[in-house]
Amino acid sequence: MSVTKGYLSTMRIPADLHSTALETLLARAAERVRAVGRAHRLDPAATDEVFQEVRIRIWKAFEKTPEKIATLPASYVYQTASTAAIDLIRRGRARRADATDPIEDLPGLAAGTGLDPKAIEHAELAAQIEAALGEVLEARRGVVRMHLEGYDRNEIADLLAWTEPKVRNLLYRGLSDLREALGRRGIRPGG
């Protein structure tokens, strides 16, 4: 059986193959992260940067015992990635420290640019939605935003450590609040 990517791969492994084992482990973990974040516009460059940092940290940590690298469980790689991501975020913020507080758009979301009437219409509607969201209960608003951003109910449930029915219930109420608030502004979604 070709089931040799876990601890199996460490048995009788030549020293020069430790890097191969690590690369396999890193590539798999990085691809999983990209797959999760792809739907939510996670920047692939950020993932690459994190795993480059993970690579360096693991090599440093096991400099004297490289034979242990191939025995690392996936959980160790993810834990290191998590720590590396936090450091990366901190460094990114430090680099931006001199900049003024941005009034910025996310890439690809430059609503209202140009003279496309459709884009202007979308931008006006988006502004109304944002204002209407302000009337939704704060405890529901984050979940409603996640839904509108395209996160599915299971992702929301995972994040909040809730059951999916609980998310569905809260979302139902939150969206109902939002529709009412939009209705007061004369907006009927889909209409």
Site for another protein in 10-39 (CB under 8 A): 11, 28-29, 31-37
CB 72 within 8 A of CB 99: no
CA–chain centroid gap for 140, Å, is 20
Q: Which of 16, 63, 98, 138 binds another protein (CB under 8 A)?
A: 138
CB 18 within 8 A of CB 67: yes
Q: Which of 52, 61, 135, 141 binds another protein (CB under 8 A)?
A: 141
DSSP label at 100?
A: P
With CB under 8 A, what is the number of residues at the site for another protein? Answer: 83
**Burial letters for 79-102: b for 16+ Cβ neighbours within 10 Å, e otherwise?**
ebbeebbeebeeeeeeeeeeeeee
Q: For residues 61 and 160, which CB has a smaller minimum distance to another protein in the complex?
A: 160
Q: Which two tokens stand for residue 157?
A: 């449930």
Site mask, another protein, residues 83-112, x = CB under 8 A?
--xx-xxx-xx-------xxxxxx--xxxx
Q: Tell me how far, at minimum, the Cβ of 16 lies from another protein, in Å.
A: 21
SS3 161: coil
Q: Tell me how far, at minimum, the Cβ of 7 lies from another protein, in Å.
A: 6
Could you tell me which stretch among 15-23, 56-64, 172-180 binds another protein (CB under 8 A)?
A: 172-180
Residues 36-65 that bind another protein (CB under 8 A): 36-37, 40-43, 46-47, 50
Q: Tell me how far, at minimum, the Cβ of 19 lies from another protein, in Å.
A: 18
Q: At what angle do helices 138-149 and 117-133 cross, to 10 degrees?
A: 150
Q: Greatest CA span in the chain, whole angstroms?
A: 71
Q: Does 131 bind another protein (CB under 8 A)?
A: no
SS3 31: helix
Q: Does 146 bind another protein (CB under 8 A)?
A: yes
Q: Does 160 bind another protein (CB under 8 A)?
A: yes
